[in-house]
Chains A and B, each alone.
Chain A
Amino acid sequence: MKRTVFLICLLLAPLAATAAGGNGQLDEVKIDLRDKQALQRGARLFVNFCLSCHSAGYMRYDRMGKDLGIPEAVLKDNFLFSAHRPGDLMKATMPHDDAKLWFGTAPPDLSLVARSRGPEWFYTYMRSFYQDEVSPSGWNNRVFPHVAMPHVLYEWQGTQQAIFHKDEHGQQHFERFELTKAGSMSPEEYDAAMHDLTNFMVYLGEPAKLHRYNIGVFVLIFMAIFTLLMYALKKEYWTDVK
């Protein structure tokens, strides 16, 4: 038995190591998919701002409406583009080729961005745009250097500058942001809005996440009962074996 425990520990050690070894530069964000209000706020943000250029091409409006508890009439009036029907996929309104022409690269589909990059990355990214004269759009981003996308929400966040310091090897290190012009939101309000958006992006990456935890609890309870019964049955039969 000791050997078993030892082997299991060995097996788990590297797992723990990778789990802990996240990117230290990213800001923490707490995801709560049970908060339907926050998800709805995030959805509104996404549809109003992101969806004009970026698609969420694997997601359907009516699924989102049903999952987030948005009534159909509200969904139609506030979330749908006129040409779309509730059952449609959430495709960007901007034609793909035009976008490529304007930005030099087509805005990527965002359905899965929270899964491929992680919520922390997304949350940090949305708050890390800073002014940079060298970049063609006038904007740069700390976690996505030379990103083609300009800061869409600068009217909310305001404009900020990145402060770097040089270490003894002459390498630039990011220190902090400095607000050069306040936006219509306070930094706390802006962070809260991006928190909502990130929360929604996590949902958008995997809508089944809303249900699978609940189902999983029942499955595990059932399996526990069955295991107990099975164990009792095994013990009963094995009384024969001397």
Chain B
Amino acid sequence: MAHDKNVDKAKRRFLTHVTTSVGAVGTGVAVVPFVSSMQPSARAKAAGAPVEVDISRLEPGRLLKVEWRGKPVWILRRTEEMLATLEADEPGLADPNSSESDQPAYATGRTRSIRPGILVLVGVCTHLGCSPLDKFDTGGTVGQVHDWPGGFFCPCHGSTFDLSGRVYKNVPAPRNLPVPPHSFKDDNTILVGIDHADETGKA
């Protein structure tokens, strides 16, 4: 083995750099299929298609749970009494105007709904993903809230939400419960997962 003293160091370095770079680009591109194979598959996407829910038999003050994209979605038919509690809750809420939380533009404000009586929420606690329980019986203490006006309570870490899914102050959950995209196909049918009933497909 003999090292030639006349080796063109610059040429060798240049070639090494070019080849390494091209090789690195190739490896980088080769990683893409592997990483994207872990994205939701066509099956998962199909399962995420809009869900049609018949609410004709949903009694006032009752909650209906349906599955959408593998998540629980709640549909609550709120009574006049329930709606009346919303304003009184606000001093105790962390984000009463829902400015930080996730909801479509047509479901903002105090009621966070298209029709005040019908509330649609994704029933997943914004803390660590448990599904909160409904506590519609008023009075007593739930979590840290005395004289409970009715709402939702997360059993995992004690977060509390009002009847619009808005989170109370001083609980682990950082944000209000999200409202999924939804629309009314007719008076008694809700489509969960799409914004407008006349258009299908993407949410």
Contact = CB atoms under 8 A, between A and B. Distances in A.
B4 A233 contact: no
Given A229-B15, A233-B15, A236-B15, A87 B45 contact: yes
A229 B19 contact: yes
B42 A60 contact: yes
Nearest to B6: A239
A149 B44 CA distance: 35
A63 interface: yes
B18 interface: yes
B4 A239 contact: yes
A109 to B, nearest CB: 17
Given A63-B42, A85-B46, A230-B19, A239 B26 contact: no
Interface residues on A, range: 20 to 34
B22 A225 contact: yes
A12 interface: no
Contacts of B29: 222
B46 A229 contact: no
B201 A72 contact: yes
A241 B1 contact: yes
Contacts of A191: none
Contacts of A241: 1
Nearest to B45: A87
Given A72-B201, A239-B7, A240-B1, A229 B42 contact: no
A232 B45 contact: no
Chain A contact residues: helix, strand, loop or mixed: helix
B88 interface: no
B26 A222 contact: yes
A57 to B, nearest CB: 12
Interface in A86-102: 86-88
Nearest to A87: B46
A49 interface: no
Interface string A205-242: 00000000000000000110110011011001101111
Interface in B91-110: none
Contacts of B8: 236
A63 B42 CA distance: 8
Contact of B42 (A87, A223, A239): A87
B146 interface: no
B45 A236 contact: no
B16 interface: yes
Interface in A178-216: none
B156 to A, nearest CB: 33
What 9 pairs across the A-B complex have the smallest Cβ distances? A87-B46, A229-B19, A233-B15, A233-B19, A87-B49, A242-B2, A236-B12, A236-B15, A226-B22
Interface of B: 1-4, 7-8, 11-12, 15-16, 18-19, 22-23, 26, 29, 42, 45-47, 49, 200-201
